[in-house]
Amino acid sequence: MTTTARPPAPPVRSHPENRKWVGKSIRRVEDPKFLRGRGGYIADLVRPGTLHAAVLRSPHAHARIVSIDTDAAAALDGVYAVVTGAQAAELTEPLPDFGPDPAKHTWRCLAVDKVRYVGEGVAVVVADDRYLAEDALALIDVDYDPLPPVVDPERALDAGAPLVHEALGSNLAYERTFDFGDVDADFAAADLVVRDRLRWHRSGGQPLETVGAIADFDPSTGQLTAHTNSLSFTSYLFMVANTLRIPANKLDIHQVPAGGSFGSKLFVTKPLVLAAMCSRLVGRPVVYLEDRVDNISNCDHHGSDRVYDVRLAVTRDGRIRGIDIDTVDDYGAYIQFGVGHHGNALAQVTGPYTIDSVRYRVRAALTNKNQQGAYRGFGSEVNNWMLEQMVDKAARELGMDPVQIRRRNFIRPDQFPYFIPTGNVYDSGNYDAVLDQALEIGEYDRWRAEQTQAREEGRYLGVGLIAAQERSVFSATEFWFWFDEPGAPVTSMPESVTLNVDATGGITATLYSCAFWGNSPETMVAQLVAEEFDCDPHDVSIIYHGSQGGLPATGPGGSRTTVMLAGAVEGASAKIKRKARRAASELMEVDPDDLEWFDGGYQVRGVPEQRKTLGDIAIALHLFKHSFPEDVESGLEESQVFDHPYTTMPSADRKDLGVFYPFMGHACHVPVVEVDIATGEVRILAYAAVHDCGTLVNPRSLAGHIVGGTAQGIGTALYEEFVYDDTGQLITSSFLDYSIPTAMEVPHLRIGHVETPSPYTPHGIKGGGEGGRMMAPAALNAAVNDALAPLGVRVTELPMTPDRLRAAIRAAGVVTGGR
Amino acid sequence: MTEELQEITLTVNGRRHVLAVQPRRLLVDVLRDDLGLPGTHIGCEHGVCGTCTVLLDDASVRACITLAVQADGRSVRTVEGLADGMRLHPLQEEFWDKQGLQCGYCTPGMLMRAVEILEQVPDPTPDQVREGIASNLCRCTGYQYIVEAVLAAAPRMRSENPWDPTVPTEAKA
């Protein structure tokens, strides 16, 4: 770790006590419309007269497009346009791409000269309805010249491998090694070096609602009005405008609730670009709504797909000194976010432990698959799994208990704020407290006793225990510190709120990003507003501003929404109260300093009968401006743009990446499983999860995220995988083959909370949207390994499907009654 | 490729509709596009996820793999038929109270399946509810609070007065 002077941390906050609404599990304000089936999702907004687009998809993993004959399709009654990839390339610029050197792996809304994965779009049809559009797709004749596919990420890097992008000259899109601290010295001083090779296969968010967009281009004004359930990055709309060759101030994108995302609707530009391109071409509103095959094969949001070779430097007494990580990540055919997923992992690469040094080598391989995007954890969940696997292996090799080795290496409460070797800071935490509670509610000792009993009966019971991090509130540094040039200043990733108090004292909050995708931004903002103004959260109105003329906003991602919106609400509330206090002082002819806010109004300190409620003040400010001094304007409305409260620059030599993910959540998961060694089936017998996300806003909502995230983590651990065969065919192209856990696979969770408030955020809140999925894969792998320990079997590959488990058991020479 | 229209009669949430539809049109599309009932959502289009669940003559079906002509002369219940004006159905109230939903997309299908479960088994065990709703995927909740909600709604649906006076009506929300 460098000892160079760091920029100062923000001031430590004191948090109010005796909160009325923050910390209360209220019914969500979003829900009644969803319960009634009036959610207003993108598919619900299609008006009569809107034309429908459908996309023809490549059946080949890798093929040159020799020719496309669209005549028959275009001649079909009800068809308005057929656009091939080559034509689309004349109508649009490439899609927004944060990858390294985008010109060498150009990404467009439709493939131009060749297709690079099964499901890549080659042409789009616009017709009166979706049925006709699909009829027309069947009439398009594409002549493909198949090329050899590249499927395995390590072989993709071999000399002579087929090239996904000829312009790149290889399939290595990016490579870099970072060293933090004295790695070589720590390994030289180690008593034991634990090594392993680990494999994490790709899965994805797969929300039940796909991505869609409705675009309406008005040729008389040049204005494009769009509705989409994606594109959370309001502040980056100019890049979509650039793709469409439309001035950014003529593009108005409206928020639509997303029927789930889990990352996978983060900044999805392709459907919007397709719909907008078609609308401009035919002069009519056009909707493009992915079907399930479109989404599963072409969502641009497959998750991490990594091979790891890891070394851990450990002392005899179980102290972890250093970690050396070498990973190849299969990015698929494009690399829209660069290796930001690994930047994310570097925010918490050493977990909750006092590991002194880190070497991190990443190679990004391109293959003939759909590209990676975002999936709940954004690469850090994979790091959690890798690290906990290594810690468990170290414990096994040292003959230590999994609890003991973790306690020995935990960062202690008095060490916060704690800078990890990469330069990121952990603001606060109490890892022993979380572990203690997890052992208690998980009935760890009882299950250990049951395990002993079960083993005597020849049953394979396993208890998993992991302790890992959930970083929250990103600044975008993770995407660009990989590059020395061009440098950039730190990004502030703002979020904004406008609060309006109407003449009756009713409060409306305006949000500026596409904030709802299953989380509870409206409830949370309503609770925070209610906390400030002593009203009922269900009386607060929440509306969304379109992108045009909107305030800076970033949208959800990296578990940032609650903290950032809380900061914006806090700032806007303070401005409202400042104006209200002054108005009240004028109305009551008292000094503003003699007033105090109490129960929804300002009153004279010590004279509670002399008071004005917010409603009294608001009606005066709305209707009777001339009662006030010259500089007081009518109305009561204030906005706050809240910028990331704690982020700093990386050092020029990248020995220190700066602070970029400082609000550090933590969790401990304790699942108990039974493995049937004859079938490879894993049954979850019990599951306890204790999380610390700082101060809780709505405990029931957070618990919902923990259970839901854990359910997804169970899928990642046991069932879900986008499987591409040796020819590059996606053989899991529907929910028939891509297995999402049902209520029978997800157990009842026992949930516990520890609250270690952040010293740097409003109310001490940390983000908590991703934790379940960031823990469960590691925890279940630990449990299965614990179950199979008597057989000498360790499973090092996810998902742990029955065939993989059976293969591992067979490889250990265990003979069962089965085949 | 335009197919001849076929006349069908659907009774949806108690209201009779006479419609002319192409034989290939799916029930979910007719409900959403022809009858203006957007509550029935489309999820996987393979009959796997249950998002599009409606009750056809009191039995759940997947409206994304049911042709509208198959429902001719039959009665269909959708999520839009659950609430009684301002009053939510007890299942809707309990889903709200227990947070048995997050993004809300699977919710209409899940609610209709829950109605069917409680009509068939008015006093189910937690295991029966779990197994019952395993027909429907939810990607957000991990099912735990859906199970709680269905179990909480069951005794209320068996009682004379199923309404929970503490649950505000839509106007309040």
Q: At what angle do helices B144-158 and B107-120 cross, to 10 degrees?
A: 50
Whole-number pLDDT of residue A604: 97
Q: Is B114 on the interface with A (CB under 8 A)?
A: no
Picking from B1, B79, B135, the nearest residue to A37 by CB comes out as: B79
Side chain identity at B115, as an amino acid letter? V
What ranges in A640-768 are assigned the alpha helix state H?
699-714
What CATH code is carried by the domain that includes residue A466? 3.30.365.10
3-state secondary structure of A688: strand
Q: pLDDT band for position B2 (50/70/90)? A: low
Cross-chain Cβ contact A700/B92 below 8 Å: no
The answer to whether position A186 is within a domain reads no
Query: Looking at the domain assignment, is residue A3 inside a domain?
Result: no
Rounded CA gap, A511 and A523, in Å?
Answer: 12
Report yes or no: B58 at the A interface, CB cutoff 8 Å: no
Give me the residue from A28, A76, A712 closest to B1, CB to CB: A76
Mutate to test the interface with B, among A35, A129, A561, A742 (most CBs of B within 10 A): A35
A41/B105 CB distance under 8 A = yes
Per-residue pLDDT for B166 more than 80?
no
Residue A330 exposed, middle or buried by CB count within 10 Å (0-12, 13-18, 19+): buried
User: Cβ(A650)–Cβ(A656) under 8 Å?
Assistant: yes
Same domain for A521 and A619: yes
Q: Are strands A607-613 and A601-604 parallel, antiparallel or unpaired?
A: antiparallel
Give the pLDDT score at A714: 98
Q: Encoding tokens for residue A24?
A: 């209360």
**What pLDDT was estimated at residue B78?**
98
Q: Are residues A125 and A257 in the same domain?
A: yes
Query: What's the pLDDT at A211?
Result: 96
A418-419/A601-604 β-pairing: unpaired
| Same domain assignment for residues A81 and A224 | yes
Tell whether B124 is within 8 A of chain A (Cβ): no
Q: Give me the half-sphere count of Cα atoms (radius 13 Å) on the Cβ side of residue A317.
A: 3
B23 reaches A (C-beta below 8 A): no
Starting from the edge strand earliest in sequence, which strands make up the sheet with A114-115, in order? A114-115, A63-69, A141-146
Q: Cβ contact (<8 Å) for B44 and A746?
A: no
Residues A333 and A472 in one domain: yes
In this structure, are A229 and A279 located in the same domain?
A: yes
**Residue among B25, B39, B142 whose CB faces A38 most closely:** B39
Catalogue all structural domains in chain B, each as residue range(s) with its CATH number: 6-81 (3.10.20.30), 90-158 (1.10.150.120)
Indicate which CATH number applies to the domain containing A279. Answer: 3.90.1170.50
Burial label for A245, CB within 10 Å (0-12, 13-18, 19+), is exposed
Could you tell me if residue A135 is inside a domain?
Answer: yes
Note the pLDDT tens digit of each residue in B76-129. 999 999 999 899 999 999 999 999 999 999 999 999 999 999 999 999 999 999
Instruction: Over range B53-76, report the average pLDDT.
Output: 98
- Same domain, residue pair A656 and A637: no
Say yes or no for a CB contact (<8 Å) between B41 and A41: yes
C-alpha–C-alpha distance, residues A319 and A354, integer Å:
9
What are the phi and psi torsion angles at A137 (to 5°)?
Answer: -55, -40
- CB contacts under 8 A, B 143-162 vs A, are 143-147
> With contacts defined as CB-CB under 8 Å, which chain B residues touch A710?
142
A784 within some domain: yes
Check if the beta carbon of residue A78 is closer than 8 Å to that of residue A127. Answer: yes
Minimal Cβ distance to B145: which of A33, A257, A704: A704
Residue A300 in any domain: the answer is no
Q: Are residues A99 and A239 in the same domain?
A: yes
**Is the residue at A189 inside a domain?**
no
For chains A and B, count residue pairs whose Cβ atoms are closer than 8 Å: 188
Q: Is the peptide bond before A747 cis (omega within 30 degrees of 0)?
A: no
Q: Report pLDDT for A815.
A: 82
pLDDT the model gives residue A819: 42
A663 and A603 within one domain: no
pLDDT score for A134: 98
**CB atoms B88 and A32 under 8 Å:** yes
Single-letter amino acid, residue A713 = G
Dist CA A755 CA A765 (whole Å): 9
Same domain, A572 and A505: yes
Give percent of chain B with pLDDT exceeding 90.
88
For residues A660 and A620, state if they share a domain.
no
What are phi and psi for residue A584, nearest 5 degrees? -65, -40
Q: What is the DSSP string of chain B?
A: -PPPPEEEEEEETTEEEEEEE-TT-BHHHIIIIIS--TTS--S-SSSSS-TTEEEETTEEEETTSSBGGGGTTEEEE-GGGTSBTTBPPHHHHHHHHHT--SS-SSHHHHHHHHHHHHHH-SS--HHHHHHHHTTS--SSS-SHHHHHHHHHHHHHHHSS----TTS--TTT-
Q: How far is A713 from chain B (nearest CA, A)?
A: 10
Task: Supply the pLDDT for residue A643.
Answer: 96
Pair (A599, A681) in one structural domain: no
Among A590, A617, A642, identify where a domain stops.
A642
Given CB atoms, is B24 within the 8 Å cutoff of chain A? yes
Task: Tell whether A393 and A504 lie within a shared domain.
Answer: no
Out of A264, A289, A314, pick the residue that ends a domain. Answer: A289
What pLDDT shows up at residue B171?
Answer: 45
Instruction: Provide, as residue numbers in chain A, all residues whose Cβ is less than 8 Å from the Cβ of B40.
Output: 37
Task: State the maximum Cα–Cα separation within chain A, in Å, rounded to a whole number.
Answer: 91
Question: What's the gap in Å between the CA of B58 and the closest CA on chain A?
Answer: 19
Q: Is A817 a member of any domain?
A: no
Looking at residue A232, its pLDDT comes to 67
pLDDT on residue A267:
86
Q: Cβ contact (<8 Å) for B99 and A700?
A: yes
Contact across the interface for B49 and A740, Cβ inside 8 Å: yes
| CB nearest to B103's CB, from A29, A77, A259 | A259
| Domains in chain A, number | 3
Q: Which residues of B touch A257 (CB under 8 A)?
A: 103-104
Residue A578, SS3 per DSSP: helix
Q: Cα distance from A197 to chain B (closest Cα, Å)?
A: 31
Q: Is residue A152 part of a domain?
A: no
**Inter-chain contact A259–B101, Cβ cutoff 8 Å?**
no
- In the block, which residue shows the tokens 């995407």? A479
Last residue of a domain, one of A289, A320, A337: A289
Binary contact (A31, B134; C-beta < 8 A): no
CA dist A634 → A49, A627, B23 (Å)? 43, 10, 61
Whether B1 has a pLDDT exceeding 50, the answer reads no
Low-confidence residues of chain A: pLDDT under 50:
1-2, 818-819
Residue span of the structural domain in which A634 resides? 31-38+494-642
Cβ–Cβ gap A131/B99 under 8 Å: no
Ranges of beta strands (E only) in A599-748 are 601-604, 607-613, 637-642, 663-676, 681-692
Chain A positions in Cβ-Cβ contact with residue B114 (cut-off 8 Å):
none
